Amino acid sequence: MCASAAEFISVLSFWGPLKADPKSYGEVVLQRLFETKPDSQKLFPKFAALPKEQLQNNPDLQAHGGIVLCKLTEFLQDGGQDKKILKDLAESHAKQHKIPRVYFQIISDVIFEVVVEKIEGFGTDAQTALKNVLKTFQTQMGEFYDELGFDD
Ligand code: CUP
């Protein structure tokens, strides 16, 4: 299902801490992703060979995590209207990183889990809204993947 305008607003009303500190939350998301789905660590050569200890306070990991969360914030603030927002992200993930789209579902689940755990105020309605917003994010990424002819 696509998220409604009200759902974007609902999620945004709790998003302040994530907007203020994208690197820290992004770092937690990627660490959690690599822990729950070790395959995903191999997708990025920068991270593939690193033992767990070196994923702590890792500037590359913080930087990529920051990108993920900044894009999500930008997407939220735009209400999912301007499809071009995700274009570059889809291109780099399809062409350069070659990330199969199934991982977008996996990282969305991790983002959901981390956000609900770390950010106060997400009641059941806001949780549903967050799920739908992430789903819309994924769908738009998938549309660019289709346009680029990236089938995985
Ligand atoms: O942005 C970015 O960077 C991405 C994120 C997302 C997408 C879709 C949906 C949600 C989110 N990414 Cu990168 C992803 C991934 C990574 O990093 C890693 C692994 C897997 C996936």
What is the DSSP secondary-structure string of the chain? -PPPHHHHHHHHTT-HHHHH-HHHHHHHHHHHHHHH-GGGGGGSHHHHT--GGGGTT-HHHHHHHHHHHHHHHHHHHHTT--GGGGHHHHHIIIIIS---THHHHHHHHHHHHHHHHHSTT--HHHHHHHHHHHHHHHHHHHHHHHHHT---
Nearest CA to ligand 1 atom 20: 103
Q: Decide whether any atom of ligand 1 lies within 6 Å of the 145 Cβ.
A: no
Give the atom of ligand 1 at the shortest distance from the alpha carbon of 108. Answer: 10
pLDDT (mean) for 110-135: 96
Q: Decide whether any atom of ligand 1 lies within 6 Å of the 61 Cβ.
A: no
- Provide the whole-model pTM: 0.94
Q: What is the ipTM of this complex?
A: 0.90
The pLDDT tens digits of the residues spanning 73-106 come to: 999 999 999 988 999 999 999 999 899 999 999 9
The pLDDT tens digits of the residues spanning 16-63 come to: 999 999 999 999 999 999 999 999 999 989 999 999 999 999 999 999
Nearest CA to ligand 1 atom 9: 104
Q: Decide whether any atom of ligand 1 lies within 6 Å of the 85 Cβ.
A: no
Tell how far the Cα of 5 is from the centroid of ligand 1, in angstroms. Answer: 23
Q: Above 70 in pLDDT, residue 11?
A: yes
Q: Decide whether any atom of ligand 1 lies within 6 Å of the 131 Cβ.
A: no
